[in-house]
Every structure is written in structure tokens, then in C-alpha cells.
Chain A
Amino acid sequence: MSGASGTTGSAARERIGVDVRQVSLPAGHPVAKLSLAAAVAGAVALAVAWALGGPRFYSSYLTAYLFFLTLALGGLVFVLLQFVTRAGWSVAVRRLAEHVMGTLPLFLVLFVPVIIGMGDLFPWAVGEGGGEHEALVGSKALWLQPGSWILRSAVYLVLWSVLGWWFRRQSIGQDRHPDPGVTRRLQIASAPGLVVFGVTVTLASFDWVMSLDPHWYSTIFGVYVFAGAVVGILALVVVLSVALERRRGPLAGIVTPEHYHDLGKLLFGFVVFWAYIAFSQFMLIWYGNLPEETVWYRQRFEHGWYPVSVAVAVGCFVVPFFFLLGRDVKRNRLTLTAAAVWLLVFHYVDVYWLVMPSALSVDPGGGFHPHWLDLLTLVAVGGLFAGAVGRLMAGPALVPVADPRLPESLSFENM
């Protein structure tokens, strides 16, 4: 097939009548305008939330921060996976994920409020949470020290930012100086990059989410966060592709139903993977029935959290599983976008469900009480994130125009 792909690729480009060298985001495009407005709204919302927040600000902020951080990390792992598998199909949409992962340095800055709110968020940071479980927390005391925790957090964020920034810069550099060697270099770097990603994401999810309840532990927790991140980025790439492709947008004729179909298949696959991991964690804890493990689910089955737990299971798995089963649903822009938006919403519910019951459990009667700060911090981090994505998109081409596999991606067809 590889012999034929070159000729059919150029034929496909002629057929669709698009000059891939001209593909960039026009200044007046709704996506460009929206991202600018979002950045302003985000900055204002952050200032208001910070000023009026109080202690609740920090748990709401951490939820919003982790939701958008997982999207950016999903972008990083998506790009690394495309290179490590030498994927051809995804080249037409890869630049979108590269822009999303390009926002990782922003999260280095946005981590500052989490450090400031450390004492409000993490019981171990102020020496609380001891009591009858002193021994359990004690064995983790060496790891959960404020100083080393801040240092580790900085290491994760710097590693991610450097990885994302370097991959994006190399890929964009290839646009101007077409050189297949860049692709080869990124392929070689992607394998160790994935190892770094896997270790740091696991440790970061332990440090930032699991340690909200310092008694509790689950070794699969990092995989759970990773699965949610991949669902998130796939859904976001679908939304961005549709936004830039519809109504003869800059990606019209480049992103085709074939790409939507494959994004939909991956989305479906990772919905199942997420459910597999989520259920594995739940079933082992349920079966073992050890108090120090079951307490985490107990918190999520009581004080008004039970409906949220059911919503996570139904919204993140049951509904999208059956909805995304069919072929036509994945090839249709409208239905796939609906599924993607749905999954993004429920990815937020999932992160909320991970963070909030533990973060609020220190308060007396810390049940399920949605707060206006949840929404405001979501707008704050989301606005800055969207603004950053829009800013990164504005300069370079929206597809890696000199990637040697672009013709393969443009003419790619599902069987």
C-alpha cells in the first residue's frame, strides 16, 4: 500500500482542491475571536474568585485546574502515541493536539494557587489527619512533606512543559524546513517521552489527588487519571476539528469523516478502557472490604454523593458506550460532536467526583454542595486555557504541512 499512497495522496489533494500550504487560522475566525474573549473572561473570573473565595476557592480551583490540565496532558500523550506508533491517519488532526499540549507551561504558572492553598487542601500539609490512623499516614510521612511535594510538583510540570514545548516546536519547525529527519527524531524521542509521561502522571495523581485523603491509597489511580485524560483530549480534538472544519473553515477538506470515524473509534475504545480501570479499582476495594480502602467509596456513596457516583458511571460509560457503538454516529459531525461535548462535561464531573468528596471531607458535614465558585473557577482556568490554545493556533499552520505522512493522512480511508 505504501507505494500507492504517494500518488493517491496527491490525487486526493487535487480532488479536494485544498492547498495544504495555506492552512492557518484566519484572524476573524470565530475560534480566534472566542479564544480572545475567553482569555479576558478567564482572567476576570480568576481575580473575582480569588478575591471572594475563601477556603472553598482552593478545592474548586484544584478541580478546574485538574480538569484542564488533564486535557493538556492528554494532548501530550496523544502526540507521543502518534509518533511512537508512526501513525499516518492522525497527521491531519495532530497539530490541534500539539497546540493543546503547548498550553502546559501555563499550568506551571497556574499551579501557584494550589501551593498557596496547600494547607486548606491537604490534611498532611498541616499535620492533620492523624488520629486513629496515625500509623497509616506515618508510613507516608517521608513522601508527603510540603517541601518535597512542591519540588516534585515543579519537576512534573517542568518536564511536561519541556516535552510539550519541544515536540510542538520541532513539529512547527518542520513546516518551514521540510525535513523527514524531524519526524524520525520525534519518533525516537517519543518512546522515552512516554516513559517520563507515565511515571510523572502516576506520581502527580498520587500527590495532587490521592493525597487529599492521605489514609487512602490505590495503585491503579494514575491509570485512572490517564484514561480520563485521553478521553478528554480525544473529545476536545473532535470539537476543535469540527469547529475549524465546518462551514468551509480552514480545515475543510482536510479533516474528513474518515478522521472523525477514527477519532470516534479511539474515543469509544478509551471510554471502555476508562470503565475497565474504574471498575477494576472499585471491584478490588469492594471485594477486599478493608476499612482503610472502602472509606474512599463510602465518602462517595453518602452525604448526597451517591447520585454523583451513579452519574459518573452512567455519563462516562453507559451512555457513551451505547451511543458510540454505531458506525454512522462516529462518521457524522453532529452526532460525534454531541458525544464529545457530553464526554467533556462528564470528564469534569469525574474530576469533581475525584477531588471534592475528599477535599470537603475535612469540613463538618462535607456533603455534595455545589458552589458558585466551582463554576467561576471553571470559567477562570478554562478561559485562560482556551485563550492560550487560541493564541498558539493563531501563528502556525493548522496541520503539519511538511510531515511526510500528511498525504497518507489526507487520502486515508477506513475499511
Chain B
Amino acid sequence: MTDARGAAAPTPAPSAWDGGRTPVWGALAEFTTPDGLLAAAAAVREAGFERFDAHSPFPVHGIERAMRLKRSPVPWFVLVLGLGGAAAGMLLQWWVSTHAYPLVISGKPFFSWPAFVPIMFECGVLGGALGAVFGFLSMARLPRHHHPLFGSTRFERVGDDAFFLSIEAADPRFDRQRTPAMLADLGARHVELVDMPAPEASRKEPEGGAA
């Protein structure tokens, strides 16, 4: 592929040759700089797209503003599970030492709350940590075995030196011809259509055929 701006026409994915019958997952544009990615992300969001994502080898400052991403709900998982863990830890100790198995320990009352605070604290930390891990995994829809973008060989450089913007075909504004052209106009070095992987493609076939 040539890097020249003028020649950065959308590269036809295999699906483009069959008149648009093969289901497409989306369009993938490659940028050379973080600034290019930032500008393109802002422009794509400005154009009204919502199902798009930015991919880069390292965190790019300001990308969440450019994409107008909503705040992550993960802190709420941490808060609720952290407080819940702390409450559960204290409740368990209260129940064990006053109801299930009351023991006099060094002459102190059955419910000696100062002694229970460290365990309550640790249960709160455990709950918060589990909330962070599983809240993140569920919000990021992980784990998953495969992603359609892995079908692109150029996308392998996302962990190295290339910056990508992908727009899903599921976005109502997506158009097989116009969307890749728009991405090329935004300064992409390379634009391609990414096929739906085979199993998902065959599952989606009836819908695609009808449309």
C-alpha cells in the first residue's frame, strides 16, 4: 500500500468483489500519529457515529473526550461490592461470635467490634477488588476468544506503531462505500473493510441476504 494521501483509496476487502453480499463487520482505518487518530475520532463522532472504537499501542491523552465516551460504570461496581464486602465481613463475625459459636476471649464482650475491623477492612478490599476485576471484564465484554479485527493483518501493528479507528457496520450510519471514503478523507494511511468472521457470517447470512 502506498502512503501517499492521494492514493489512499479504500482497499477492497474480498467481500467488495461480490457486490456487497458477504457480511462486513466494519471499516478499519490506520493512522500514523496519535494526533491523526485524535482528530479522526473527533470527526467520526461529530459525523454521528456511535459504534466505533480507537485502538493504539499506548494510551492517547484526550481520546475519551474526542470520542465523547461516557464515564465508566466500573467505580460503582467497586463501591457497591466494597461496602457490601465490608458489611458481609462484619456481619459474619457478629453472627459467629454472638450466635453460632460465642466464646469469651480475654474477658472481652462477645461482640468486640475493634477486633473485627481488620477482617471487615480486608473483606471490603476483597469485594472492591473483585468488583474492579469483574466489573471491568463485564463492561469490556471479556473474555472472548476472537474479534473480527484480528482478521486484518495490518491490525497486528496496533501493539507496535500504528493507530487504528474502527467503525462497526452495525452503526446505523455505516455505509460500505461512503464510510471508508470518509475515513480516507480524514487522513488515514490505509482503509479496509473487515469481514465478519466465518461462523458469525453464516449465522447472519439470512439477514444480510434480505437486506
Contacts of A413 in B (CB 8 A): 61-62
Of chain A, the residue at the smallest CB distance from B107 is A289
How many Å lie between the Cα of A286 and that of B34 in the bound state? 57
Inter-chain contact A4/B59, CB cutoff 8 Å: no
Inter-chain contact A1/B114, CB cutoff 8 Å: no
Of chain A, the residue at the smallest CB distance from B34 is A4
Task: Name B115's contact: one of A4, A8, A283, A415 (CB within 8 Å).
Answer: A283
Q: Does B153 contact A (CB under 8 A)?
A: no
Task: Name A8's contact: one of B58, B61, B118 (CB within 8 Å).
Answer: B61
Query: Given A4-B34, A325-B79, A327-B75 in contact, is the A287-B61 Cβ separation under 8 Å?
Result: no
The main secondary structure of chain A at its interface with chain B is helix
Cβ distance A89 to chain B, nearest Cβ, rounded Å:
13
Q: Does B39 contact A (CB under 8 A)?
A: no
How many Å lie between the Cα of A325 and that of B76 in the bound state? 11
Q: Does B106 contact A (CB under 8 A)?
A: yes
Residues 261-281 of chain A, each 1 if its beta carbon lies under 8 Å from chain B, else 0:
000000000000000000100
How many Å lie between the Cα of A325 and that of B80 in the bound state? 13
Q: Does A282 contact B (CB under 8 A)?
A: yes
Cβ distance B16 to chain A, nearest Cβ, rounded Å:
36
Q: Does B91 contact A (CB under 8 A)?
A: no
Cβ distance B89 to chain A, nearest Cβ, rounded Å:
15
Cβ distance B76 to chain A, nearest Cβ, rounded Å:
11
Inter-chain contact A415/B59, CB cutoff 8 Å: yes
**In chain A, residues 291-347, which have Cβ atoms closer than 8 Å to a Cβ of chain B?**
325, 327
Contacts of B59 in A (CB 8 A): 415
Of chain B, the residue at the smallest CB distance from A288 is B106
Of chain A, the residue at the smallest CB distance from B71 is A327
Of chain B, the residue at the smallest CB distance from A283 is B114
What residues of chain B have their CB less than 8 Å away from a CB belonging to chain A?
34, 58-59, 61-62, 75, 79, 106, 114-115, 117-118
List 7 other contacts, CB 8 Å, given A8-B61, A282-B114, A327-B75. Answer: A1-B58, A279-B117, A283-B118, A286-B114, A289-B106, A325-B79, A411-B61
